[in-house]
Amino acid sequence: MRRCVAPLSPLISSSSSSSSFLRQAPWRFNIWESFTTVIGNRVYDLPVPEDNTPFITFVLGGPGSGKGTQCEKIVETFGFRHLSAGDLLRREIASKSKDGSMILNIIKDGKIVPSEVTVKLIQREMESSDNHKFLIDGFPRSEENRIAFERIIGAEPNIVVFFDCPVEEMVKRVLNRNQGRVDDNIDTIRKRLKVFEALSLPVINYYSQKGKLYTINAVGTEDEIFEQVRPIFATLKVSK
Ligand code: C5P
Ligand code: MG
């Protein structure tokens, strides 16, 4: 599958940073191709604990890959609790908490908020939830995020779902979604894509090597994409 070596968006390649994107393309191709070999021959037979032990799903993908949209469908169909790291951080900004302005500046710059801050927000939600089947969306974005979660929460994900989407498609979706986000502009999108490539892909690769990764082809209609997602959760025998 070679979608990820398709020519990069002129929007990206017209920037002064395009050369580093292009230089990294062969590396990105190798990583992505190794993910795609994971699909297909998986046996979806993971047990879901019946007691209060959490069942944790990390949902990963670049900006505009459709994580949030698909999480809503998983919630409707399979009754998970959806925790979006980005939404929790934006809520923190809106509540004018002590970390709010620091978080805002980092989000505007497309960078990653210190892991401890994000993990504590996730922890608060997990601890106060009656539903113990979690979809944690947009997290971990870096190895540091991943390690902080393991340290603070003391758990690892049961499964990791990765929405694999070409850069051009992600840029198009983010620029068209009109949600009034401070980071949905082309300059910040470029930065977010670079951060995704440098910091998030290694995390995805880590879970691929651990055999926990389910890769979804994130191109198509919402319903078409959900038909790839459905079997992962359907065979978990999770009741609503
Ligand atoms: O996932 P979402 O696109 O909503 O994230 C928006 C921004 O929130 C990211 O670009 C990043 O600045 C911040 N974020 C973070 N750490 C996470 C998730 C999001 O710093 N784990
Ligand atoms: Mg989102």
- Kindly report, residue by residue over 157-189, the tens digit of the pLDDT: 999 999 999 999 999 999 999 999 999 999 999
Q: Which helix (H) or strand (E) holds 205?
A: helix 201-209
Pairing of strands 159-164, 133-137: unpaired
- Which ligand sits closest to the CA of 86? 1
Looking at every residue in the chain, the average pLDDT score rounds to: 84
d(CA 51, CA 174): 39
Question: Please, what is the angle between helix 85-94 and helix 115-127, to 10°?
Answer: 100
Q: Is residue 120 part of a domain?
A: no
Ligand 1 neighbourhood includes 192 CB (under 6 angstroms): yes
39's tokens? 């699909």
- Cα 119 to chain centroid, rounded: 15
- Which ligand sits closest to the CA of 174? 1
Q: What percent of the chain clears pLDDT 70, i.e. is strictly above it?
A: 78
Q: Is residue 239 part of a domain?
A: no
Q: Is residue 109 part of a domain?
A: no
State the pLDDT at residue 37.
35
96's tokens? 């004018």
Ligand 1 neighbourhood includes 59 CB (under 6 angstroms): no
Residue 167's domain comprises: 3-84+130-234
CA of 74 to the centre of ligand 1 (A): 21
d(CA 80, CA 72): 9
Q: Is residue 77 part of a domain?
A: yes
State the pLDDT at residue 236.
79
Nearest CA to ligand 1 atom 19: 86
Q: Is residue 112 part of a domain?
A: no
Ligand 1 neighbourhood includes 122 CB (under 6 angstroms): no
State the pLDDT at residue 96.
95
Query: What is the mean pLDDT of the segment spanning 218-240?
Result: 87
Confidence of residue 104 (pLDDT cuts 50, 70, 90): very high
209: CATH = 3.40.50.300
Which of 50, 55, 49 has the alpha carbon at shortest distance from 81? 55
Atom of ligand 1 nearest to the CA of 90: 8
State the pLDDT at residue 45.
59
Q: Is residue 19 part of a domain?
A: yes
pLDDT tens digit sequence for 125-139: 999 999 999 999 999
Please tell me whether residue 142 adopts helix, strand or coil conformation. Answer: coil
CA of 47 to the centre of ligand 1 (A): 30
- The residue whose CB lies within 8 Å of the most ligand 1 atoms, and thus the one to mutate among 91, 93, 113, is 113
Preceding amide of 140 cis, omega within 30: yes
Q: Is residue 54 part of a domain?
A: yes
Give how many domains the chain has, as a whole number.
1
Which of 173, 172, 159, 150 has the alpha carbon at shortest distance from 207? 159
Query: What is the mean pLDDT of the segment spanning 62-66?
Result: 98
Confidence of residue 52 (pLDDT cuts 50, 70, 90): confident
